[in-house]
Amino acid sequence: MISGRTRLLALIGQPVGHSLSPAMHNAAFAADGLDFVYVCLDVESDALPDAVKGAVALKLRGFNVTMPHKRAMIPLVDELDEGARISGAVNTVVIEGSILRGYNTDGGGMVMACEEAGIELSGQRVLILGAGGAAAAIAVAFGGVGVGELHIANRNLEHAMELRDKLRRAGLRKVEVYTLDALEEAIIKAKVVVNATPLGMQEEDALPIPAGYVGGGRAICDAVYLPGTETPLVRLARERGARVAAGDRMLLYQGVLAQRLWTGREANAKAMNDAIS
């Protein structure tokens, strides 16, 4: 029930019509009787600053940010958590009066997806494919749970080196970078492989790692999700009996973490999961 006191939350992006986030968040609010409602707002890039000012003026409790605005949010908030600062991408904003706090819950979402899948991270050697916003957020969060070594393989080596340097400055000492030419060397050493490239979003995409290296005691994490189905990487990893943290689980748990920031209480993850399953 929407009341006169209902607090508004939103997803700001473009496009947003396909998003599962309203179903996911509103299911938890309904299940727990919380007086919040979550809607999607389609915002053009050049209107983002005005939209953010409007959100403050309208006293929204906060909002999520998705493509293409995650990076553009950085200068529009007053404070950043470490994941947002290092990744240069904000996916969650909490509004406290006129103060906007920017967070990145994507990395924490992947950590929770790994915990659920029984994927051990502490002390492990992890290979992350990609060096963009999701890769950086995952690297920061994995650092926070005591990953042993982080190896980053990226198409553009300079982007990987920039991320490595930021992570080292943040205190993560054991970070190495690889070009995609040296991918096999990096995979062989890894216990956990994370796909944080968009490979898998399109039918015709190649697997992010050669098929021969999927499985073999190596856990697979895939940030990519395909509504209603599995990515080819996740499907192959499951067929080979590997532990898997799939992108839809990361999506669920980044939402759980965002909701915790807005409401100050544990989110109803079961209701959220039922809504998107």
Q: Which residues are catalytic?
A: 70
For ligand NAP, the binding residue among 177, 250, 258, 272 (CB under 6 A) is 250
3-state SS of the chain: helix, strand, coil percent to 5? 40, 20, 35
Could you report how far apart the first and last alpha carbons of the chain are, in Å?
23
Residue 243: other Cβ atoms inside 10 A: 17
For ligand NAP, which is the closer residue by CB, 159 or 243? 159
Dihedral of CA 157/158/159/160: which sign?
Answer: positive
Alpha helices in 98-213, H assignment, sequence order:
106-117, 133-144, 157-169, 183-189
How far is 101 from 52, CA to CA, in rounded Å?
12
Binding status of residue 254 toward ligand NAP by CB under 6 A? yes
d(CA 48, CA 72): 8
The residues facing 95 across adjacent strands are: 100
In whole angstroms, the minimum distance from the beta carbon of 66 to ligand NAP comes to 8
Please, what is the minimum distance in Å from the beta carbon of residue 35 to ligand NAP? 26
Instruction: Choose the stretch contacting ligand NAP; rule: CB under 6 A; options: 4-12, 77-85, 130-138, 185-193.
Output: 130-138
Q: Which of 55, 80, 103, 106 lies at the binding interface for ligand NAP (CB under 6 A)?
A: 106
Cβ atoms within 10 Å, residue 35:
13
The span from the CA of 245 to the CA of 111, in Å, is 9
The answer to whether 53 contacts ligand NAP (rule: CB under 6 A) is: no
- Does 132 bind ligand NAP (CB under 6 A)? Our answer is yes
Within residues 135-164, the interface with ligand NAP by CB under 6 A covers 135, 154-156, 159
Phi, psi of 148 (to 5 degrees): -75, -60
Interatomic CA distance for residues 82 and 50, integer angstroms = 26
Does residue number 247 form part of the binding site for ligand NAP (CB under 6 A)? Answer: yes
In the bound state with ligand NAP, the residue whose beta carbon lies nearer, of 10 and 131, is: 131
- The residues in 107-126 that bind ligand NAP, with binding defined as CB under 6 A, are 109
Answer for which of 131, 234, 237, 256 binds ligand NAP (CB under 6 A) is 131
* Stretch in the footprint of ligand NAP (CB under 6 A) among 33-41, 42-50, 196-204, 228-236: 196-204
Residue matched to tokens 């919040």:
36
Instruction: Check binding of 259 to ligand NAP (CB under 6 A).
Output: no
The two tokens of residue 59 are 């006293």
Nearer to ligand NAP, 135 or 187 (CB): 135
Task: List residues binding ligand NAP (CB under 6 A).
Answer: 106, 109, 130-135, 154-156, 159, 196-199, 201, 223-225, 247, 250-251, 254
